[in-house]
Chain A
Amino acid sequence: MSFDDVPLWAALLISACVLVGAFLTFVGAVGLARMPSFYQRIHAPTLGTSFGAVGVLAASAILSTIGEDRFIAHEILIFTFVSVTTPVTLMLLARAALHRDRVEGSSDVPAVVERPVDQ
């Protein structure tokens, strides 16, 4: 495939999407490195997985619809997959961290109200 067949407006739209997506992912990574505590850091990667991923995948979807005649199946799949799985992993990690902090008796986290039933 050559990029020459892509019209100018589409090229500008694609570059805007991919750059915004990459920038948001980068900001998420910087947040991960900069935030002072674990519970603050856990918010940072969601930037990359929400609109960071949407930007890059939208750019790819536009490019493949215009440039080649490929159906955007993989972009849809990757997007649904990422948006469904990240909250699950983050929640599990947060619960593990909470549990570890409580076992150590850290004063930064709220104490156990009672034993969670579903463990």
Chain B
Amino acid sequence: MSAMILFWSITIAQVVLGAAMLVTLYRLIAGPRAQDRVLSLDAMYVVAMLLLVTFGMRVGTVIYFEVALLIGLLGFVGTVALAKFLMRGEVIE
């Protein structure tokens, strides 16, 4: 019984998180400006991280959590770099 509840709730959560990723993808494509795209990329990183955590819950290995940490780290560095670029890129132009 509890196995079924867990299985279905994690599956539903994964579907919902996947839908969230698609919605952020819409904003990534639609823009309209560069800062909107960077913001949606950042949100997408977070959703991907949570998705990996749910995969880790299902399988029960540590590897997924380490990948989630790595994604969080890369997302942070990437967004900071892009934000800095948005700030400075215009000054140089």
Contacts and interface: CB of A to CB of B under 8 A. Distances in A.
A48 B39 contact: no
B20 A48 contact: yes
B46 A38 contact: no
Contacts of A89: 42, 76, 79-80, 83
Interface string A79-114: 001100110111011011101100100000000000
Interface residues of B, number: 55
Contacts of B6: 3, 6, 11, 14-15, 63
Contacts of A75: 53, 65
A25 B80 contact: no
A8 B5 CA distance: 9
Interface of A: 1-4, 6-8, 10-12, 14-15, 18-19, 21-23, 25-26, 28-30, 32-33, 38, 41-42, 44-45, 48-49, 52-53, 56-57, 59-60, 63-64, 67-68, 70, 74-75, 77-78, 81-82, 85-86, 88-90, 92-93, 95-97, 99-100, 103, 119
Given A85-B72, A86-B42, 20 more contacts: A1-B60, A3-B2, A11-B3, A18-B10, A18-B54, A21-B50, A22-B13, A29-B19, A32-B27, A33-B24, A33-B27, A48-B50, A63-B6, A64-B57, A89-B83, A90-B39, A96-B86, A100-B33, A100-B86, A119-B87
